[in-house]
A and B are shown apart, each in its own frame.
Chain A
Amino acid sequence: MKNKDIQDLLDLASELRWEIGENFHDTLVEGIYTDAAQIAQKTEIKIGEPNPYSFERKLDQVLTSKKYGFPVMILILSIILWLTIQGANYPSSLLASFFLEFLYPMLKTGASQIGLPWWLDGFLIDGVYLALGWVISVMLPPMAIFFPMFTLLEDFGYLPRVAFNLDSLFKKSGAHGKQALTMSMGWGCNAAGVVATRIIDSPRERLIAIITNNFSLCNGRWPTQILIATIFIGALVPDNFSSILASLAVIGIALLGIGFTFLSSWMLSKTLLKGEVSTFALELPPFRPPNLWTTLYTSLIDRTLIVLWRAIVFAAPAGAIIWLISNIYVDDLSLANITIDWMDGFGLFFGLNGVILLAYVVAIPANEIVIPTILMLTVAHLNLMGAGNGVMFELESTTETAALLHAGGWTLLTGINLMLFSLLHNPCSTTIYTIYQETKSWKWTVFASIMPVILGFLVIFLVTQMWQLFQ
């Protein structure tokens, strides 16, 4: 078709459009629905009495009611977290003792038997292997419990109800109700949450959803929260109540994350991303009985193992780096010690410490390895096992981890601040890359990466100041 013909065609089209008036679109859709109604009437067969969906309706009314809507949401979240914390404890220590107590000495002996040089042995076994062992024993059990439960909820159809309940709050903060869905996806993985924001069709609100997704604790951060809460907060009360208090603390952090989502959405929509909230139209699907076995299988294979694999891929080099910096000496101090001492002043000022800050620098590629890195660095720093061995340690239970951290100068304040900082810091490298992919803007990528860190430092600074005020 020649250019001129095309132009003529377009001219004719806009002439005719003008004749129909502005409502051609309505006419067209109405026309299609007329056909659809006719066809549906001819083909739909009602068997006996139409099902009144009475059970579904009742359930829906409860789940979204003024009285029960929010309490049920928090209750469900609490139950999931409590089951995760409670259930992960035992398998975690089992795995840890397998990897660290049973396999580790065997590898060491094997290495010395085949005459591996000390540095290669240290690099591979004390560095890479120990990091892997840690990641697997710390991360696998909670994920294997958390993901299937979350997927069951998702398949049942509960997530859209959460979005429905939270929409009024999102509306107040100038954001889109579907952000609740992307937020929930973010509880699995922030990168996935960022991609999921595509369901929000207004660019402004989508950007808000992308930037604030980092405030959803992702699976890489749940284990950190759970471990630290168990060690520092659970320990405040007698054993019987410790897992309940620890779950409550983690829930508190998760809810705080939601709070920060609202707060920063509100601030963004009042400043940088100004503009009226557009629309919210969400189909609420029927409740569907989830298929238990398929869910268990796919969430184990798909999510847990894939996430674990990613953690392993990132943990191995991190372990290597930690071993290296703990074993390279300048004068009498290892590189790790120098950096930690140097960062300590800054860290303590904010109520953290040098170990944590260095761990977050090493862990930029993936949040999952923060805890193992912290532990390894603490060991290296304290030099518990003497020079040269670097990162060797045995920890088969949280009690021993606790002892180690206390020895490293940790207090309840450090624990609380670590939990806060783990919620409020830069997204992991994958998420940063995904943000760039989705926004195609360096400006917003940088903003989304830096804003949470600044916020994080601000919050822990305030907490530390308050803490010291009341001491």
Chain B
Amino acid sequence: MILLLNLEKLFTPLLNQAYISLFFTALLILFFILKKYQYSLRSLLPFKYVEKSITEDLLKQLYHITSSQKTTDFRMLSGALKIPERKILKVVESMTQNGLIHISEGHVTLTKTGKNYALSIIRIHRLWEKYLSEKTGFDKSLWHDLAEAKEHQLSKEETEALYEELGRPRFDPHGDPIPTALGEMISETGTSIVGIPKGTVTKIIHIEDEPKSIYRQIIKEKLHIGAHVKILNADNHHIIFESEGHSIQLSTVVASNIQVVLLNSQETYEEGNVRLSSLIEGEHATILGISSECRGANRRRLLDLGFIKGTFLNLEYMGPNQNPRAYRLRNTLIALRNDQADFILIKKTQYDRTGSL
């Protein structure tokens, strides 16, 4: 017992109030910092752990540069990847030895092997974005970064299993084609939304997710692949169009990152459609469809619950914070959060006795 009592004496000053609070605060702060910068901290790791990912990032970068018919040198690469030139040179050396790239007069080009390798990385990246969009709830602003990390981790077998699980998709959620396992890629057919004459109805097929600042502006307007867009007005600096009941104005620079096609013969543009979230108490509406922005499990859940084209519904009441809200359809009350109701496109109607109420 004497020993134990002594121990206690020993610890008592340590258990002082100030020490404890300080310790916990420091621990918390450290944790948040590490969590926040976990990707950027990569360059602090020993070289052999990061060689693979730098190689792969370089290949990808080179692939994109080559396919846009440009040439590049080390300085530009170093800038684009945010990695010191010293490290790039080291990687480039071993890449040349492995026959992935070819250097002549300071310009770097991809070999056939290198190109295939690059495509396989792009394949993983896009498949993973598809996975994130279909099977998880991650916000789309996070997809790119998560896929950047994942693309260096998946093995060939895992990639193919993922491909099967996702139902062999051909496009990623941004509308970019996913290269096949053999390295083939469908070429894109859309045109930029800038320059489309006013009054035309088009469908978005691709939104470029880089640079990030522009991408964020686009998704802030809730624009997405598959959305129907009607051009209302356009001049040299701005373009104004209508999508899902909202009128949106973008600068030409931003809008040029959106690619569209004309509607095909089976698709029609519904005038006067609005989002379900704009329905107010006592109003009635008919569902026109679920926005193609909502996909995967979320879409299926909404369909299962009966949010189907042609369904008649009304807003019954709102929660204490106006969110979620309860809708009555087919004689059942269903509560949805507003961000989900945003996905459901409706047309407001009069109360209809023959409706399912």
Chain A residues within 8 Å of B, Cβ to Cβ: 14, 17-18, 22-23, 25-26, 29-30, 33, 50, 57, 60-61, 64-66, 69-70, 164-165, 167-168, 171, 177, 201-202, 204-205, 271, 274-286, 338, 342, 345-346, 349, 458, 461, 465
Given contacts A30-B308, A168-B324, A282-B335, contact A61 B317 (CB under 8 A): yes
Cα-based distance from A280 to B324 in the complex (angstroms): 8
Q: Contacts A168-B320, A276-B137, A278-B136 given; 10 further ones with Cβ under 8 A?
A: A26-B303, A60-B326, A164-B319, A164-B335, A202-B136, A275-B138, A276-B142, A280-B336, A284-B335, A465-B17
Whole-angstrom CA separation of A282 from B142 in the bound complex: 27
Q: Could you say which of B96-104, B245-253, B293-301 contacts chain A? A: B293-301
Question: Is B83 at the interface (CB under 8 A from chain A)?
Answer: no
B340 is an interface residue with CB less than 8 A from chain A: yes
Inter-chain CA distance A115–B82, complex, in Å, is 87
The answer to whether A280 and B335 touch across the interface, beta carbons within 8 angstroms, is: yes
For A164, what are the chain B residues with a Cβ–Cβ distance below 8 Å?
Answer: 319, 324, 326, 335
Tell me how far the C-beta of B219 lies from the nearest C-beta in chain A, rounded to whole angstroms: 13
**Set of chain A residues within 8 Å of B295, measured between Cβ atoms:** 22
* Cβ-defined partner of A338 (8 Å) among B1, B35, B357: B1
**Cβ of A281 and Cβ of B301 under 8 Å apart?**
yes
| B105 at the binding interface (Cβ < 8 Å) | no
A18/B340 contact (C-beta < 8 A), A29-B303, A60-B316, A164-B326 known: no
Q: A60-B317, A276-B142 are in contact. Are A204 and B305 (CB under 8 A)?
A: no
Q: B32 an interface residue at 8 Å Cβ cutoff?
A: yes
Shortest CB-to-CB span from A40 to chain B, Å, is 8
> What chain B residues lie within 8 Å of A60 (beta carbons)?
316-317, 326, 333
Collect the chain B residues with CB atoms within 8 Å of residue A285's CB. Answer: 333
Point out the residues of chain A lying under 8 angstroms from B168, CB to CB. 14, 17-18
Decide if B306 is an interface residue (CB 8 Å cutoff): yes
B334 touches A281 (CB 8 A): yes
Q: CB distance A284 to B170 under 8 Å?
A: no
Inter-chain CA distance A168–B321, complex, in Å, is 7
Q: A30-B309, A167-B335, A280-B324 are in contact. Are A458 and B137 (CB under 8 A)?
A: no
Least distance between B158 CB and chain A CB atoms (Å): 19
CB pair A342 B1 closer than 8 Å: yes
How near does chain B come to A12, taking the closest CB pair, in angstroms?
Answer: 12
Please determine whether A167 and B324 come into contact, CB atoms closer than 8 angstroms.
Answer: yes
Q: Report 29 cross-chain contacts, Cβ distance below 8 Å, ordered by A residue.
A: A26-B289, A29-B304, A29-B308, A33-B306, A57-B317, A60-B317, A60-B333, A64-B319, A65-B320, A66-B320, A164-B319, A167-B319, A168-B319, A168-B320, A171-B337, A177-B335, A177-B337, A201-B297, A271-B32, A275-B136, A275-B142, A276-B142, A280-B336, A281-B340, A283-B305, A283-B333, A284-B326, A345-B8, A458-B24
Is B29 close to A, CB under 8 A? no
Specify which chain A residues have a CB less than 8 angstroms from the CB of B335 in the assembled complex: 164, 167, 177, 280-284
Nearest-neighbour CB distance to chain B for A74, whole angstroms, equals: 13
> Within the complex, which residue of B32, B308, B326 is in contact with A33, where a contact is CB–CB below 8 Å?
B308
Nearest-neighbor residue (CB-CB) of B308 within chain A: A33
User: Knowing A29-B303, A202-B137 touch, does A278 contact B298 (C-beta < 8 A)?
Assistant: yes
Point out the residues of chain B lying under 8 angstroms from A66, CB to CB. 320-321
Contact at B301–A279, with CB atoms within 8 Å?
yes
Which residues of B approach A to under 8 Å, CB–CB?
1, 4, 8, 15, 17, 20, 24, 31-32, 35, 136-139, 142, 167-168, 170, 289-290, 292, 295, 297-306, 308-309, 311, 316-321, 323-324, 326, 332-337, 340, 357
Q: Which residues of B contact A345 (CB under 8 A)?
A: 8
CB-based nearest B residue for A342: B4
Q: How long is the Cα–Cα vector from A276 to B301 in the complex, in angstroms?
A: 17
Q: How far is the CA of A164 from the CA of B317 in the complex (A)?
A: 11
Complex contact A284–B137 (CB within 8 A)? no
Query: What residues on B are CB-neighbors of A279 within 8 Å?
Result: 137, 298, 301, 337, 340
Q: Is the CB of B15 within 8 A of A14?
A: no
Beta-carbon contact of B319 and A281 below 8 Å: no
In the complex, what's the smallest C-beta–C-beta distance from A387 to chain B, in angstroms?
20
Distance (whole angstroms) from the CB of A406 to the closest CB of chain B:
26
Nearest CB of B to A253, in Å = 23
Nearest CB of B to A35, in Å? 12
A206 CB to nearest chain B CB (Å): 12
A303 to B308, CA, bound (A): 41
